[in-house]
């Protein structure tokens, strides 16, 4: 190898050596720092969020069945209102949960699943309307208790604020279901 070629090769190595001086790896500048850990949510608030999401899903799914099967205009209007309101609260709760690193994957409780299955197996008519409204009273009564518990015992300020904001809506739904004839 001639002298000029050797010097060119040596000069090409100088920048590499400069990067590795002081025991600093040339890759050190490109390694990202670990991301900040997502805020943790205590078990009480996590359980509330999952149960509230499941409650919403029951209200939405059972109300979709009511829209298909009921012939009563007032029951159908109520069912549509339940779908709209509980879709909105699901979206709000999902946004809060997502900001805290929680993924809401609501699973209906066995009692909710049984009520939904029973409704799906019924024909429309007065018996269906009565069963649907009774289930709405049962579901909203349980939700009122759930939300009151979160307000009293929750630790996460955003989740607790969501419960405080949503409780009056659920209480209104309960009154409406009862006024339509639900006895749950």
CA distance 37 to 35: 6
Using one digit for the tens of pLDDT, what is the confidence trace for 73-132? 999 999 999 999 999 999 999 999 999 999 888 999 999 999 999 999 999 999 999 999
Tell me the CB-side half-sphere exposure of residue 32, using CA atoms within 13 A: 3
- Count Cβ atoms below 10 Å from residue 134 Cβ, excluding itself: 17
Gap between the Cα atoms of 131 and 120, Å rounded: 11
At 184, the pLDDT band (50, 70, 90 cuts) reads low
Query: For 135-181, what is each residue's pLDDT tens digit?
Result: 999 999 999 999 999 999 999 999 999 999 999 999 999 999 999 99
Cα–Cα dist 104/45, whole Å: 12
* All domains in the chain, ordered by first residue: 43-179 (1.20.1260.10)
3-state secondary structure of 181: coil
pTM of the model: 0.77
Mean pLDDT, rounded, of the chain: 84
């Amino acid at each position: 190898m001639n002298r000029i070629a050797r010097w060119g090769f040596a000069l090409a190595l100088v920048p590499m050596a400069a990067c590795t001086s002081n025991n600093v790896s040339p890759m050190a500048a490109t390694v990202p720092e670990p991301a900040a850990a997502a805020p943790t949510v205590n078990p009480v608030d996590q359980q509330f969020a999952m149960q509230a999401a499941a409650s919403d899903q029951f209200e939405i799914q059972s109300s979709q069945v009511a829209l298909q099967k009921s012939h009563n205009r007032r029951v159908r209007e109520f069912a549509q209102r339940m779908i709209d309101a509980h879709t909105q609260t699901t979206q709000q709760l999902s946004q809060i949960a997502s900001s805290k690193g929680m993924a809401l994957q609501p699973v209906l409780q066995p009692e909710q699943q049984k009520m939904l299955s029973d409704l799906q197996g019924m024909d429309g008519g007065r018996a269906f309307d009565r069963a649907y409204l009774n289930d709405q009273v049962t579901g909203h009564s349980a939700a009122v208790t759930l939300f009151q518990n979160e307000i009293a015992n929750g630790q996460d300020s955003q989740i607790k604020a969501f419960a405080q904001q949503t409780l009056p809506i659920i209480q209104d739904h309960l009154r409406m279901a009862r006024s339509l004839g639900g006895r749950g």
